[in-house]
C-alpha cells in the first residue's frame, strides 16, 4: 500500500520454565448494574509520533482515571505500516493492520490512520482526542457481560491453554458471531533509538500479543452455555503478572455486543 493511504494524526481539542501441569481457575466478577463493559480498541504504532499520547490516554482509561459510570475493556493493536519510517515496532503486526482495515471499510472511512480508537466496533475517533473518546464511550451501546469462567493451564513452558465455559447473555441471530479471546500485556517499556519517536522512552499497556477465536455461534439463546479452548504460543520474557485476557463477541458487521476481561494468575 502507498504511504499516502496512511495518516498519523494529532488531537484536535519472565516466564516459568517448568510450567507443565500448572492450573488455576478464575471466575469473572459480576458487572455493575446497567450493562457490561465497553470495548475500546486503540490502533497505534511506535513509529507514529502522535501515538504515544494516545497510549497514555488509554492507559489512564484502563486504570479508571476518568471515573466513568461504565466499565471498559481496553486493547491496543500495534499496526506495522509505519515500520518503513526507520523504526520497526516490536509489537507491530500485519494481522492488526488487517483488523484496522476491516474497521475502516465497515465504518465507511477513506483512510487508515494512527492513533485511531474504535469503540464497540461502531464508532471511531482520533486516539489522543480525550474528549471525543469519552463521548464515544459514554454513548456506546451496552450489552450484558458474558459469564464465562476461565481455567488456565501451562501444558509447556512456551504455551498457555485457556478453557472457557459460560453464557453470552445476549441472543445471537442467524447472522452468527465469533467469540474472540485476546491475550494482552501491560507495563511494556521500549527505548526508541530511531524513527519519528527517536530518543524517547515509550510506555505501552494493554498491548494485544495474541488473538484467537474461541468459537463461532449462530441462532443461540442468551442463556445457552458455550464452551471452548484456545491455545496461545508465548513469547520470550512472558510474565503472567503483566498479562490479561479480553473476551468479546463480534458479529460479521464488526459490531461488538458483549465483553469480559480476566487477569491471569500470577503463578501460572
Q: Tell me, rounded to whole angstroms, the distance of Cα 187 from its chain centroid.
A: 15
CA-nearest of 200, 207, 192 to 43 is 207
Q: What is the pTM of this model?
A: 0.89
Q: Provide the pLDDT confidence category of residue 6 given band limits of 50, 70 and 90.
A: low
Q: What is the mean pLDDT of residues 147-176?
A: 96
Q: What is the mean pLDDT of residues 92-108?
A: 98
Return the pLDDT at 20.
Answer: 39
Return the pLDDT at 33.
Answer: 43
Give the end-to-end CA distance of the chain in Å, rounded to a whole number.
41
Return the pLDDT at 29.
Answer: 42
Q: What is the grid cell recorded at 177? A: 458471531
Domains of the chain: 36-263 (2.60.40.10)
Ranges 8-12, 60-64, 67-71, 172-176: which has the least confidence = 8-12
Return the pLDDT at 10.
Answer: 64
Q: Provide the pLDDT confidence category of residue 5 given band limits of 50, 70 and 90.
A: low
Return the pLDDT at 137.
Answer: 98
Return the pLDDT at 240.
Answer: 96
Dist CA 125 CA 111 (whole Å): 13
Quote the percentage of the chain above a pLDDT of 90: 86
171, pLDDT greater than 60: yes
Amino acid at each position: 500500500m502507498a504511504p499516502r493511504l496512511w495518516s498519523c494524526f494529532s488531537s484536535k481539542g519472565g516466564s516459568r520454565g517448568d510450567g507443565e501441569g500448572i492450573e488455576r481457575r478464575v471466575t469473572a466478577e459480576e458487572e455493575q448494574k446497567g450493562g457490561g463493559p465497553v470495548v475500546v480498541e486503540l490502533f497505534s504504532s511506535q513509529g507514529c509520533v502522535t501515538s504515544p499520547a494516545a497510549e497514555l490516554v488509554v492507559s489512564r482509561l484502563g486504570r479508571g482515571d476518568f471515573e466513568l459510570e461504565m466499565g471498559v475493556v481496553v486493547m491496543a493493536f500495534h499496526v506495522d505500516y509505519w515500520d518503513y519510517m526507520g523504526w520497526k515496532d516490536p509489537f507491530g503486526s500485519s494481522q492488526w493492520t488487517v483488523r484496522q482495515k476491516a474497521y475502516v471499510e465497515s465504518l465507511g472511512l477513506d483512510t487508515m490512520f494512527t492513533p485511531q480508537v474504535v469503540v464497540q466496533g461502531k464508532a471511531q475517533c482520533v486516539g489522543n482526542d480525550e474528549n471525543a473518546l469519552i463521548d464515544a464511550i459514554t454513548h456506546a451501546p451496552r450489552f450484558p457481560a458474558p459469564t464465562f469462567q476461565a481455567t488456565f493451564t501451562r501444558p509447556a513452558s512456551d504455551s498457555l491453554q485457556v478453557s472457557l465455559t459460560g453464557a453470552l447473555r445476549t441472543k445471537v441471530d442467524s447472522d452468527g458471531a465469533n467469540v474472540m479471546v485476546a491475550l494482552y500485556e501491560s507495563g511494556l517499556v521500549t527505548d526508541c533509538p530511531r524513527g519519528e519517536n527517536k530518543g524517547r522512552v515509550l510506555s505501552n499497556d494493554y498491548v494485544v500479543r495474541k488473538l484467537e477465536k474461541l468459537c463461532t455461534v449462530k441462532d443461540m439463546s442468551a442463556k445457552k452455555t458455550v464452551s471452548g479452548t484456545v491455545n496461545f504460543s508465548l513469547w520470550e520474557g512472558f510474565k503472567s503478572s503483566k498479562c490479561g485476557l479480553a473476551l468479546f463477541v463480534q458479529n460479521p458487521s464488526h459490531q461488538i455486543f458483549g465483553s469480559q476481561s480476566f487477569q491471569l494468575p500470577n503463578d501460572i
